[in-house]
Amino acid sequence: MSTQVFYFVATLSIIFSLMVIFAKNPIHSVLYLILTFFTFTVHYVLLNAQFLAVVNFIVYMGAIMVLFLFVLMLLNLNKDTEPSKSPLIKIVGVIAGCCLVVTLIGSLKSASINSPLVLKNQGLGLVENLGKELFGPFLLPFELSSLLLLAAMVGAVLLSKRDEVEA
Partner 1 sequence: MDSAFVIEKFILVAVIFGISLVIAMYSTYAERKVAAYLQDRLGPDRAGPFGILQPLADGVKMFMKEEIIPTTSNRFLFVAGPGLALLCACIGTAVIPWGSPIEIGGKTIPLQVSDINVGVLYIFGVVSLGVYGVMIGGWASNNKYSLLSAIRAASQNISYEIAMGLSIIALLLMTNTLSLKEIVDQQHGWRWNVLYQPLGFLIFMVCSFAETNRAPFDLPECETELIGGYHTEYSSMKLGFYLFAEYINMFVSSAVMAALYWGGYNYPGMDYVAAHLGPTWAPLIGTGVFFLKIVLFIFFFMWVRWTIPRFRYDQLMNLGWKGLIPLAIANIIITGVVIAIIEKF
Residue closer to partner 1 by CB (options 96, 157) is 157
> Is 63 a binder of partner 1 (CB under 8 A)?
yes
List, in order, residues 6 or more apart from 133 with CB less than 8 Å away.
Answer: 124
**Side chain identity at residue 150, one-letter code:** L
List, in order, residues 6 or more apart from 151 with CB less than 8 Å away.
Answer: none
Binding map of partner 1 across residues 70-109, x = CB under 8 A, - = no contact: x--xx-----------------------------------
Binding map of partner 1 across residues 121-160, x = CB under 8 A, - = no contact: -----xx---------------------------------
Residue closer to partner 1 by CB (options 42, 61) is 61
Q: CA–CA separation, 53 vs 61, rounded Å?
A: 11
* Residue (of 68, 37, 30) closest to 52 by Cα position: 37
Task: Compute CA distances 110 → 104, 105, 123, whole Å.
Answer: 10, 9, 30
Q: How many residues bind partner 1 (CB under 8 A)?
A: 22
Q: Which of 9, 31, 33, 42 binds partner 1 (CB under 8 A)?
A: 31
Task: Point out which span in 59-67, 87-95, 104-112, 158-166 binds partner 1 (CB under 8 A).
Answer: 59-67
* Residue (of 63, 86, 85, 83) closest to 75 by Cα position: 83
Tell me which residues touch partner 1 (CB under 8 A): 25, 27-28, 31, 34, 50-51, 54-55, 57-58, 61-63, 66-67, 69-70, 73-74, 126-127
